[in-house]
Structure 1
């Protein structure tokens, strides 16, 4: 059975993170794309896929063939578009962030449940190769009970221009939404959260730095982003009762996509062996072992595979409602708190 879908928005996100993966799926078809303005030059790239491009939202949403709509528009429009899609009886996948507030998230989830529809954020970073390596180390028991996980998503962009906007336009909502989702998918809802969110390049701008800790009792998970990191820091640092795991280098899918190397080509998204993570652990004889962990190859298209299974076969959602609400609550409260600060989620 084929899942027929449409997309709202036709910018970088659609062309880089969605269509290259969807068009490889034999059981998913993109029938139509709505955008406020037509982009004929970009549209030519999809001539072979027989996609209809339109600026008429009502005709797009009234198409009864379309079962799933992906929303790839600016963050401030996500709630409005998602609500409209649900009202028209469409299942919905929303680019990050899902929405701006807990109140908005509750409304969307409640309406989807009443209508028997799926709505979910596009948490594609669950299928980053570096994160999949962390999951493997945890699942295989190399480091015993996890005690501390540190996750970095850093850049060196010394631009001190002023960028205005609300918290939803800042770095914490833009990148923290991904790194926190990875943590929440592993460990669930934290007991406490501490925040350090600010702008370090220009104090008049929206945030470009965050250092946020999620506390789970003995375990602490740290998610951190800065736009002023020139020397590479490990992407993941994981410590446990029996050892440690260190991984440098981000997932290679994005680097390949930026170069025009598409999913389905040989070696797409594959990590270099010199970037494989190193686990240091004690074996059954008490000897300390240092071992490379080959990075699993990531695939953002697996989000769409999960959507297919949920919509067509009734499988549980990849990102549960509890995970969605926890993520949005932490994001929203981060924008409301003076920084630094600590809150309880109990």
Structure 2
């Protein structure tokens, strides 16, 4: 494989997991070289290059991962697919729905795989929520809140366009989790705006409500949550599930703890989720749910299975189109609004 880009995305969310697998990174293309990082790279045989044609013309390359700013994704995706290679593209997949459909159509015509890197489908907190739903602890789900909050005061005016805001940058992850679990919503409500400085041109706050039949999901992020809110709050006909704090993989990576460490990504017992439910005898039970350890590298395991064995993609075309439609509808209209699914 090859990687386009050599910044935080490649070095934090991709390479540490790739090195644990039987995947050869033959090239890393970057128009701005970083000799100090290249010197210490784990595979001395990897070729660092400023010549993209060198990468795309090599018949050995089967997969190219695009880890560059979102505005460049469409062009790189086109170039990779037109060279006859499969492509994995960081989120958000493209600028808009039209570009997304163009790339997916191109991949399908060429019998290649094009997929978005939705690694947070393998967040530990999300995997645990999924398990709680599958085991039926809460009965039929009625309401779910998904929070990804921070406390990062910043009164400076934020500049840029919609792709530079929190909704596109973070919202795509936690919206995709909901689409992966429940599919396409019937309606979506939006409140997307800057709350720390109203003169900002990009958002730092969003709440997106996804409406299903007799079920609602609220997905929210604020930069001013001084008191932590649960990561997930799930209510159903038979009980509730609450989980605090986020997946620990990113925290460990920031400390230099890598996926080969036995303690990597393991949640603290005091942060395990808790389910309070009614059993068949109508007894109320309170139970801790140990967190399922996440692994972003499973995206690559699944992708290789799709490329080599023609297995269904982790992120289907329909799910990706739904994700991008939700993003596009969110920024198409200013102020709170509701859209119906097409």
Question: Taking structure 2 as the reference length, what is the TM-score of the superposition?
Answer: 0.98
State the match for 1:265 in structure 2. Answer: 261
**Aligned to 1:264, what secondary structure does the other structure show?**
coil
- Kindly report structure 1 stretches of 4+ aligned residues shifted beyond 4 Å: none
Indicate the residue corresponding to 2:124 in structure 1.
Answer: 129
Q: Distance between the aligned counterparts of 1:22 and 1:47, measured in 2?
A: 11
Give 1:45 shift: 2.4
Q: Give the Cα–Cα distance (whole angstroms) in 2 for the partners of residues 50 and 103 of structure 1.
A: 39
Deviation string for 1:143-179 (max 9, x for gaps)?
Answer: 0111111111111111122222111111100011000
Out of 210, 215, 219, the residue aligned to residue 214 of structure 1 is 210
How much does 1:201 deviate?
1.1
Query: Alignment partner for residue 322 of structure 2, among 300, 312, 326?
Result: 326
| TM-aligned CA deviation for residue 338 of structure 1 | 2.4
Partner residue of 1:224 out of 220, 226, 250: 220
Q: 1:76 aligns with which of 59, 71, 76?
A: 71
Render the CA deviation track for 1:23-65: whole Å, top value 9, x for unaligned. Answer: 0002x11110000011111112224352110011111111111
Could you tell me which runs of 5 or more consecutive residues in structure 1 were left unpaired when the two chains were aligned: none
* Mapped partners of 2:307, 2:193: distance in 1: 40
Equivalent of residue 197 in structure 1, options 192, 197, 215: 192
- Does the C-alpha gap of structure 1 residues 49 and 142 become closer, same or farther in structure 2, counting only changes over 3 Å? farther
Q: Which residues in structure 2 correspond to 1:107-146 (within 5 Å)?
A: 107-146=102-141
Give, in whole Å, the separation in 2 of the partners of 1:293 and 1:50. Answer: 44
> What is the distance in 2 between the residues matched to 1:297 and 1:264?
13
Give SS of 1:24's match: coil
Structure 2 residues not aligned, in runs of 5+ = none
Matched, 1:85 2:80: yes
Q: How far does residue 137 in structure 1 lie from its aligned partner after superposition?
A: 0.2
CA distance in 1, matches of 2:93, 2:311: 21
Match of 1:302 in 2: 298
Structure 2: distance between partners of 1:53 and 1:245: 47
TM-score by length of 1: 0.97
Q: Cα 1:161–1:145, aligned 2, differ >3 Å: closer, same or farther?
A: same
Distance 1:129 1:302, change over 3 A: same
For 2:172 and 2:66, how far apart are their aligned partners in 1?
A: 16
Q: Which residue of 2 aligns with 1:342?
A: 338
Render the CA deviation track for 1:280-325: whole Å, top value 9, x for unaligned: 1011211000000000000000000011100011100000000000
Distance 1:45 1:117 in 2: 33
The 1:76–1:268 alpha-carbon spacing in structure 2 relative to 1, beyond 3 Å, is: same
**Partner of residue 153 from structure 1, selected from 128, 148, 154:** 148
Moved more, 291-300 or 43-52: 43-52
C-alpha distance in 1 between matches for 2:90 and 2:97: 16
- Give distance in 2, aligned partners of 1:56 and 1:264: 32
Deviations 1:109-140 (A, max 9, x none): 00000000000100000000000010000000
**What secondary structure, in the 3-state scheme, does the structure 2 residue paired with 1:197 have?**
strand
